[in-house]
Amino acid sequence: MNVDRVLEGYVVKLGDNVSTDDIIAGRYLHITDPEELASHLFENRPEIRERLLKAKKPVILVAGRGFGYGSSREHAPIALKTYGVKAVLAESFHRIFYRNSVNNGLLVIEVKGMADLVDDGDKIRVDLRAGIVETPRGTIRIGKIPDYVINLILSGGLKEKLRSIASQKSHT
């Protein structure tokens, strides 16, 4: 399960400090089935849920500062990815959400100044090779991602690494 280096999607715009509680409420965290989790996205934030459900897929979330605020629940990136969110572009991320996303093959990229360039429904294109995002109102550079992290992202995160470690050990 490698992550695509070039991907396209339709924008849903969000504000600052969108929390993992916003993304998936605590009452659903006993659930591990990805489809079931995806059906409960943003229930605590009805105005976001409504826009997400109306949006064309695949979705790219464009957010402000501190996306993925709060709880460590990995259910959040799993639910987003399963629903059809391909990537999250934000001014900055909270660290546990960022790591959880990488490990589940949800592309998360720090991009400054995106919010001014896009609106809900815009089609945008992320090109990791060129390090850019193309929007209807211009192209924008993405921040530098450390080599260790980009390799992890492109290989599908720790889950894929774990899969290969497990298969090697079982063959030795």
Partner 1 sequence: MADESLAVEIMSSHVTNGTKDVGPGDIVVVKPDILLMNDVTALLAIRVLEETGAEDIIDCKRNNTIIVLDHYSPPPTARIASSYRRLRAFARKHGCLFKDVGEGIMHQIAVEELVEPGQLALGADSHTITYGALTVFSTGIGSTEAAYILATGELWLKVPHTINVELKGTLEWPLTGKDVVLYILGQTGGDGAVYASVEFMGDGLKSIQVSDRLTISNMMVEGGAKTALFPVDDILLDWLMRERGIDPRPAWKRLSPRKAEPDLYVDLGRLEPMIALPAAPYNVAPVREVEGVEVDQVFIGSCTNARYEDLAEAARILKGKKVKDGVRLIVTPASRRIYHKAIETGIMEVLHSAGAVITPPGCGACFGSHMGVVGDDEVMVSTSNRNFPGRMGSPKAKIYLASPQTAAATAITGRITDPRDI
Min separation Cβ 27 and partner 1, Å: 5
Six token digits for residue 89: 């572009």
**Which residues are near partner 1 by CB under 8 A?**
16-17, 19, 21-22, 25-27, 29-30, 32, 43-46, 65-66, 69-75, 78, 92-96, 99-100, 103-104, 146, 148-149, 152, 157-159, 161-163, 165-167, 169-170
Min separation Cβ 160 and partner 1, Å: 8
Instruction: Confirm if 105 and 157 have CB atoms less than 8 A apart.
Output: yes
Measured CA to CA in angstroms, residue 93 lies from 2, 17, 39, 40 at distances of 22, 8, 24, 22
Provide the 3-class DSSP secondary structure of residue 72: coil
| Closer by beta carbon to partner 1, 141 or else 144 | 144
Residues 17 and 53: their CA atoms lie apart, in Å, by 21
Per DSSP, helices labelled H in 8-146 are 20-23, 34-38, 46-54, 75-83, 95-103
Residue 2 has a CB neighbour count (10 Å cut-off) of 10
Six token digits for residue 119: 């609106």
Min separation Cβ 84 and partner 1, Å: 20
Unique residue bearing structure tokens 């660290």: 95
| Closer by beta carbon to partner 1, 34 or else 58 | 34
Min separation Cβ 62 and partner 1, Å: 17
| Closer by beta carbon to partner 1, 34 or else 127 | 34
Beta strands 132-135; 85-90: pairing state: unpaired
| Closer by beta carbon to partner 1, 132 or else 154 | 154
| Closer by beta carbon to partner 1, 28 or else 122 | 28
Min separation Cβ 137 and partner 1, Å: 26
